[in-house]
Amino acid sequence: MWSTLGHNMESPNHTDVDPSVFFLLGIPGLEQFHLWLSLPVCGLGTATIVGNITILVVVATEPVLHKPVYLFLCMLSTIDLAASVSTVPKLLAILWCGAGHISASACLAQMFFIHAFCMMESTVLLAMAFDRYVAICHPLHYATILTDTMIARIGVAVVMRGSLLMLPCPFLIGRLNFCQSHVILHTYCEHMAVVKLACGDTRPNRVYGLTAALLVIGVDLFCIGLSYALIAQAVLRLSSCEARSKALGTCGSHVCVILISYTPALFSFFTHRFGHHVPVHIHILLANVYLLFPPALNPVVYGVKTKEIHKRVVRVFQSGQGTGIKASE
């Protein structure tokens, strides 16, 4: 299928360009700012790696944090790291030196992994909302519902859902003919950006892409909203203001992560589908905000707003400083 896609593509001049290669243009209209834009991209990529690895190390080395909510956080951090690795290196290569060439097979692989990881992240956020619902509305059954086996099953469901929903897209694209241009007006192989280059009937691709997005964003947001509606109902029944505050406080980090993740996702989705008069570079910037900001900010939110993680992160850095001082002495 990969070779079929490559031979179906034709370069604009048919002579000096490999027909099996796409070219990622970057951000059209902002080419003169590519070098400057690489600075925040590099910063966010570094923050993603450092922050998420810190979360994984702290949770793995602290037995007291081996609880469902933190195991879900580890899933989120792992997905964020994988998504960053799939995106940031090529993005920096484009911004630094215009190295936008990417083979057809690599482009489809990048498309699959980026969109699959985004779907997996949404599923983890839904699982975290379920965790908060059980913890607040059914606290006596929390340990019996969210067992290690259940968490493992949820982890498998997260991977399977994202992978299976995204699996048809590369095959649907593999049947298309690319007879006009192989230049992708984007910083990565985004599904619709590639589909727009095709000459044939792209309705199946468009319909499936929209259906998959609605199944993930629509269903997950509805279920998360329902969970928090039930949580709010349970919290309002509490007689003590202190108990209400404590119950809502346990949801603060998750609500912040939901806002960070879904706000740019919804902006990118709606401007891409309905914002036909929105400049191309705005579409692309929103798509990159959606990919880059949540993975970098999620560890910060949990590190600042979750006392257990905050204390242990501080302890790890203090012990590291203490070891460095002793070594120097």
* Dihedral sign computed on CA atoms, order 46, 51, 56, 61: positive
Long-range residue pairs from 66-73, CB within 8 A, at least 24 positions apart, any chain: 68/131, 68/146, 68/151, 69/128, 69/131, 69/132, 69/135, 70/308, 70/309, 71/151, 72/124, 72/127, 72/128, 72/131, 72/151, 72/154, 73/128, 73/302
Antiparallel, parallel or unpaired: β 183-184 and 21-24 = parallel
Please indicate whether residue 92 or residue 266 has the higher confidence score (pLDDT).
92
Assigned token pair, 303: 């590190």
Fold for the domain defined by 20-302 = Rhopdopsin 7-helix transmembrane proteins (1.20.1070)
For the chain, how are helix, strand and coil distributed in percent, rounded to 5?
80, 5, 20
Q: What is the pTM of this model?
A: 0.86
Q: Is the model more confident about 7 or about 216?
A: 216
Report which residue type is found at 145. Answer: I
Quote the pLDDT of residue 16. Answer: 45
Percent of the chain with pLDDT over 70: 89
Question: How confident is the prediction for the chain on average, in pLDDT?
Answer: 84
- Strands (DSSP E) found in the chain: 21-24, 101-103, 183-184
Mean pLDDT of the region 275-288: 82
Question: For residue range 188-235, what is the model confidence (pLDDT) as tens digits?
Answer: 998 888 888 888 888 898 899 888 888 898 899 999 999 999 998 888
pLDDT digits (tens, 9 = 90+) for 55-104: 998 889 888 888 898 999 999 999 999 999 999 999 999 999 888 899 98
CB 58 within 8 A of CB 312: yes
Q: Going by C-beta distance under 8 Å and a sequence separation of 6 or more, which residues neighbour residue 56?
A: 74, 77, 78
User: For position 277, what pLDDT does the model report?
Assistant: 77
Q: Is the pLDDT of residue 272 over 60?
A: yes
Taking each continuous run of H as one helix and of E as one strand, the counts in the chain are 14, 3
pLDDT per residue over 124-154, tens digit each?
A: 999 999 999 999 889 899 999 999 999 999 9
Q: What is the pLDDT of residue 108?
A: 92
pLDDT at 12 over 90: no
